[in-house]
Each structure stands twice: as structure tokens, then as C-alpha cells.
Chain A
Amino acid sequence: MTRHPVFSRIDANLATLLIGAVILWFAPAGLKSYGLYVISLWLVMSIAAMGLNLTLGYAGLKSLAQAAFLGIGAYTTALITAKGGIIGPGWSWPLAFVVSGAITFFAGVILGFPALRVKFHYLAFVTLSFATVMFLIFRNEQWLTGGVYGFSNIPRPSVMGSKLDNDLAFFRFVLVVTVLLSLAMWWMLRSPWGRAFTALRENPLRAASLGINLRAYTLLAFAIGSAYGGFAGALYAPLVEFIDPAPFAISASFVLLLTVVVGGQGYFLGPFLGAAFSYVLPEVLRATGGLYLLIYAALVLILLLITPQGIIGIVEKMRENRRQKAAQEQRNASKVMLEA
């Protein structure tokens, strides 16, 4: 049997992921706290974007609530791990991680139900409303979340009895979690589920006629995508060590949407590129002084004008051109075969 491009592409995704992980493990040795903070943030936001990429990029469901899920995860983690943690410092973070994922998973299921009834901009609106309500809860329910004053002194997790107060150690911890979550996502996307999600996006009616349970896959896409937001939140809280409602506002959900689109929706590596663009590039541009947001916005515009499919779209366009050429030759050949 011949090698199929799609299957080999998935393998290339895996290879890039693993090679990238090894490089990242060693690369930041010379970085100071700030650099480590920025690349840790990059990975954390990549996880959140990966979730949104599943919901939006693969399954085609427009969600404007990813930052709210990030917030649910972050606050859950803060509550579980703060002040020595509920079950001692060693196990509090793993518990928080699991609970954050579970809560956001079920919130995603609930939010997914409207997705069964309404499509398109109404779905965006329903998720937008959810995000607004969550933001207001974070801000107003001071007894629980610390309200506008925020939640401070969130501890870093401990691994085998030692707390990851060292920024490099914490970065590597984030890296390991990111790789594990990416592997799980990679596996899922190449499994029959991944194909079903794509089918859901491309043609739900046809998908239904092939026995694909639209209801189950829609809810799953929403729930798993949301859970990745929650997982990212479980890392965000100890990374910043302080949370308040601001990073979970509507505008933050829009930035995540931008991240996924700029990176390349529906591509496995898109969220990593997008998050580098959305969260690392502004840090680099900050050196250009007061105009950096202007420059950033102009870059987004130019990039989208050049390649509306996102950064990965450039690569994909070249591959597609090559494939089209090959396909054309094959078509010519096939005509001869059929007519013969």
C-alpha cells in the first residue's frame, strides 16, 4: 500500500510536537524569569487555543467563551490549591487539574445543547452571553473569587515533594503537561472521532445520513474543547500566581478566537503558531514603544490579507498547489482508463 499524504501529515505533526518538546526542554536554559514566563504563557495559551481549535476549527462550532473556561479552570485551581491546598500541597494541584477539566467539560456539555438548536451567529451569541455572565460572576461574587481585588498567593504545584518555585522547573512542568495534552488531542483527531468532527463541520446532513450521531459529536466537541480551556486555566493560575477577572473577559475570548484563526483553524499545529503570534509577539514588539499595538494590529491585518487560512495556510497552500498538479496528471490518466 502507498503512503497516504494525510496519514504522513499526521505523523509529521507528531514528529514536530516531540522534536519541539525536546528543543523546548533544553532551549530556555539561558532565559531569565521573564523569558520563561513568556514561553510558559505561550504553552498555556496554546492549550486553550487547542481546545477552541477543536470546537471551531475541526467541528466548525463558533464559540466566544473560551476565556471563560480558562477562567473557570483558573479559579477552580486557585480555590483548591490555595492555603496549603485541600488535600495537602502534593496532591492538590493534580486534583485541581482534574476538577478544572471536569467542571469545564460539563459546562461545555450544557453550553453545547444550544449548539444543537441554533447555529452560526446565534451560537456565537449564546456563548458570548455565557462568557459575559461568567465574567460578572468572577467579578461580583467576592466571597468566592476575591472579586475585583483578585485572588493572590496561588501556589505553584509540587512534584515529588518539592515545590516548583524555580521558574525553569515550572516551565518544564508546563511543557510536560502541554505535551501530554497535545498527544491526547493528536490521538483523538486521528481516531475516527477526528473524522467525525470534520464531517460535522463540512456537511452535517450528509454526516447524519452516514450514521454519525450529530448530537453526541457536537456535545463532545464542545465539551472537550472547553475542558482544554479548563486545563489551561489550571496552569494559568499557578503561572501568574494571582488572578483577577480581567484576563477572562470577553475581549480575551476574542483574542483566543483570533489566535486560532491566525494560526490556522483546523490544523493541529495552528494553535501553537497562533498563540506565539497573539501572546509572544506583543511581548517582543513591546520594545518598539507606544506604537506596538498599532504594529501588531497591522501585522494581523496584513497576514490575513495574504493568507486567510492563517500562518499554516501558507505552507498548506504550497502543498496544495503541488498536490493539484499531481492530481491533474492523475485525472488525465484516469480519463483514459474510464473511457477505455
Chain B
Amino acid sequence: MKMSKRTALLGGVTLTLGLGLGAAMAQETVKVVGVIEMSGAGATAGTNYKNGAQMAVDEINAKGGILGKKIDFVVYDTQTNPGNTRAAVQRGVDEGAFAIFGPVFSGPISASMQIAQKAGVPQIVGGEAAGLTKQGVTTIFRTSLNQADAMPKLAEYFKNDVKANSVAVVWVNNDFGKGGRDAIIPELQKRGIKIAADIATESAQADFAADAIKVKSSNADAVFVYLNEEESARFLRAIKQQGYDKPIVGETTLLGAKVIELAGDAAEGAKGHVGLSVDAPNPLFAEFGKKFQAKFNYKSDHNGIKGYSGMYMLKHVAEKTGKLDKEAWLKYAHGAIIRTKDEPGILIDSKFDANGDVDRESFLAEVKKGQQVITGTLPPVNKF
């Protein structure tokens, strides 16, 4: 037993040392801590977000960094677990991060945003759930449209373009999917469209046969699919197997490059609204897409764009304030309008409001011959 007592003490000491270090080594760099889903349910989205951000960091550092200081970008995996996320954000704050980059999934964001706020550290996230920017947190910034802004656009689309009187809604039962479902259903009903089926699916679900059959037998005029990437592809394949021939409508993910690649023919004809896309009629997106493909050997989805443009937003605001001061950064960022002519890395003109929501143009698209084809451009919610 003496042994185990000694072992326990030793363990305690090692632990204390291990956790206590880290903050001491402040150098002439800008520390940005990525708190990102590198494993667990959010691994795919997280990897894209991280790769996009990493590419931006490499470019920025190659050109001399932010205000002459290189970006020191470290990434801590959250395992898509809120507790771990909280720990990682806390760790970033303790290590003196200038900004926290991530996470992408909304649950972990909810779990951790108070920590960043308490420390006054800007947090640039990939989450789309409507609630995030409604809780008075002053340090959070989105890199993509809020569901609450995207869904009315989509409901209009169902009414005017698809001309559906009834819609089956298929959503993934996490905060992202539930948030989308809760946002779209009232918008559809407001426009007199009936909800023919309301189908929850699991995240990381593999077998979508039962859900596809249910959609088909609901006899709705169209189906709205709000799932993560792979699940979207699996669903498209499953519903195609059922010989489904009515419009399949989605939001951003459904029309993403990854889904089209994975679903193959089954993605043909899918349509809907897209926030960010490498296929948008915009030379900057196309150029980003090419660079990303060259660097990582696969096609980026919208999360890659979010990570990339988010990092440039960080840089741009810091340079505008002329100093590395978090308070000044936050002050400028709230209400900032960033145009591509000033900062090409932002990829698309964007306005950040007082809550941290972003407003920008978005697109209507359709999958034709294995490609996402942009069929229309929608203006920002509030013109700027």
C-alpha cells in the first residue's frame, strides 16, 4: 500500500505541474486557439472548418501575419462533447488566446460561450442555431447565416418556386436539425403550407430506408431535408431507391459538394437555398475552392469556407483597430461591414451586427448533372 500511496502522490504532483504550465510562454505571436470538433459526431464539419482556417493562417503568416505578428494557431479537439469544449475554451483563455476559433456544432457553442464572454475573448463560431446570438453574449460571432434568417427565405421558395401545398420535413435530431425544424415549420404554416410528415432522424444514422418510405407514403408535394452531410447523402440514396419523384429541397448542406459526390445520381434534381458555396457565381469562391482542393486534395464544403473567411474576418478587424486589443476588436467587430474589395479573404461582402449575426447575400441552387448550379441570388436580409 505504501507503493500506491506514493504513486497517488506522484500522480497528483505530475498532474498539477502538467496543468499549471502553458500560459507562461507568451511570444511575439497572436495566439488563436481552435476549439473544434475533430472527433465524434462533428468530425467531418470540424475537419473542414479547421482546414479552411489553417489555410487562411498559412496565407496570412506567409504575408507577414497580423500587424506584423504571426498567428500561432493551435487546435484542441472537443470530441463534439460540451464538457470537453468548455474545458478547451477555458484552456485557450488561460493560455492567453487573442481569440477562440470554433466550435462548429451549436450544443458545444452553447456550453462554452459564457467562458469566452467572461474573459472578454472573441469567439468565432460555425454554428447556425438561432438561439446562440439571442442570449446577450457579447463575444460571439457567426461565420454563416443564422437559421432564423435563412428559413424565411426558404419558406418563400417553397411557396413561390416549388409551389408546394404540403411538405414532409426530415431533420436530424440535434440542435442544428431541431433548430432548423423549429424555424421552418412556423414559416411554412404562416404561408399556408401543410406539414405532411415530421420525421426526426439520429445523427450518424446509417439506414434511412424507413424514413424514406415514410416520406413517400406521406404523399407530400415536396420534402425538406435538413441533415448533416453524410446523412443527407444516405437519405438521398435511400429515397431514390424508393423511386421518389417529387421535389427534394434542402438548405446549404443538402446541395454541398460532398453530398453531391457521395450521393451520386441520387442527388440529381435536389434544390434549395445555399448560404456559402464554392460553386457560387463569385470568382473569389472559385479561387478558394481551387486552392483548397490543391492543398487538401478534396473539395471543400461550406464549413471550409466558414473557417477560411472567419480567420480573415479576425485579421481584418484587428488591422482596422490598428492594435491587438480584444476590447477594441470587439467594439469594431460589432457592426463591422467587411467588403471583398478591402479584404478579399472574406470572400463575400458581410455585415456583422451587434449580436454577432452575419448578414450577406445568399443563393438558390439546384443539382444538375452532378454539379451545384446557382439559379438565383437572394439579397441580404437588411441591405448594407
Contact: A246 with B82, CB < 8 Å?
yes
The verdict on A312 contacting B4 (CB below 8 Å), with A34-B91, A240-B82 known, is yes
Interface residues, chain B, with chain A CB atoms under 8 Å away: 1-5, 7-9, 11-13, 15-16, 18-20, 23, 38-39, 75-77, 79-83, 86-88, 90-91, 93-95, 106-107, 110-112, 114, 129, 131, 135, 173-175, 177-179
For residue A290, CB closer than 8 A to chain B, the reply is: yes
What B residues does A8 contact at CB under 8 A? Answer: 1
Contact: A148 with B94, CB < 8 Å?
no
The verdict on A150 contacting B94 (CB below 8 Å), with A240-B82, A269-B8, A286-B77 known, is no
Q: In the complex the two chains form, what is the Cα distance from A293 to B84 in whole Å? A: 13
- Shortest C-beta distance, A212 to chain B (Å), equals 28
Interface of A is mostly: helix
What B residues does A292 contact at CB under 8 A? Answer: 77
Task: Given contacts A34-B93, A148-B178, A149-B175, list 4 more A-B pairs with CB under 8 A.
Answer: A16-B1, A32-B23, A273-B11, A319-B1
- Shortest C-beta distance, B187 to chain A (Å), equals 19
For residue A116, CB closer than 8 A to chain B, the reply is: no
- Shortest C-beta distance, B110 to chain A (Å), equals 5
- Shortest C-beta distance, A22 to chain B (Å), equals 11
Contact: A273 with B8, CB < 8 Å?
yes
Contact: A247 with B20, CB < 8 Å?
no
For residue A326, CB closer than 8 A to chain B, the reply is: no
Q: In the complex the two chains form, what is the Cα distance from A24 to B11 in whole Å? A: 12
* Smallest CB gap from B76: residue in A: A286
For window 201-254 of A, CB contacts with B under 8 Å fall at 236, 240-244, 246-247
Contact: A246 with B5, CB < 8 Å?
no
* Smallest CB gap from A293: residue in B: B39
- Shortest C-beta distance, A135 to chain B (Å), equals 11
Q: In the complex the two chains form, what is the Cα distance from A66 to B39 in whole Å? A: 23
* Smallest CB gap from A284: residue in B: B18
Q: What are 13 A-B contacts with C-beta separation under 8 Å?
A: A15-B5, A31-B20, A34-B19, A39-B15, A149-B129, A152-B114, A244-B82, A247-B82, A269-B8, A284-B18, A293-B77, A311-B7, A315-B3
For residue A336, CB closer than 8 A to chain B, the reply is: no
- Shortest C-beta distance, A289 to chain B (Å), equals 8
Contact: B93 with A33, CB < 8 Å?
yes
Q: How many A-B residue pairs have CB under 8 A?
A: 143
Contact of B90 among A33, A293, A319 (CB under 8 A): A33
How extensive is the interface on chain A, given as a class?
Answer: 35 or more
Q: In the complex the two chains form, what is the Cα distance from A13 to B15 in whole Å? A: 21
Most buried by A among B3, B16, B19, B175: B19
Interface residues, chain A, with chain B CB atoms under 8 Å away: 8-9, 12-13, 15-16, 19-20, 23-24, 27-28, 30-35, 37-39, 41, 139-140, 147-150, 152-153, 236, 240-244, 246-247, 269, 272-273, 276, 280, 283-284, 286, 289-290, 292-293, 311-312, 315, 318-319
- Shortest C-beta distance, A21 to chain B (Å), equals 11
- Shortest C-beta distance, A184 to chain B (Å), equals 20
* Smallest CB gap from B178: residue in A: A148
Q: In the complex the two chains form, what is the Cα distance from A222 to B91 in whole Å? A: 37
What B residues does A244 contact at CB under 8 A? Answer: 82, 107, 110-111, 175
The verdict on A12 contacting B111 (CB below 8 Å), with A273-B11, A293-B77 known, is no
* Smallest CB gap from A27: residue in B: B16
What B residues does A139 contact at CB under 8 A? Answer: 173
- Shortest C-beta distance, A94 to chain B (Å), equals 24
Q: In the complex the two chains form, what is the Cα distance from A286 to B83 in whole Å? A: 15
Contact: A35 with B1, CB < 8 Å?
no
* Smallest CB gap from A251: residue in B: B40
Contact: B8 with A20, CB < 8 Å?
yes
Q: In the complex the two chains form, what is the Cα distance from A293 to B8 in whole Å? A: 24
Q: In the complex the two chains form, what is the Cα distance from A37 to B75 in whole Å? A: 19
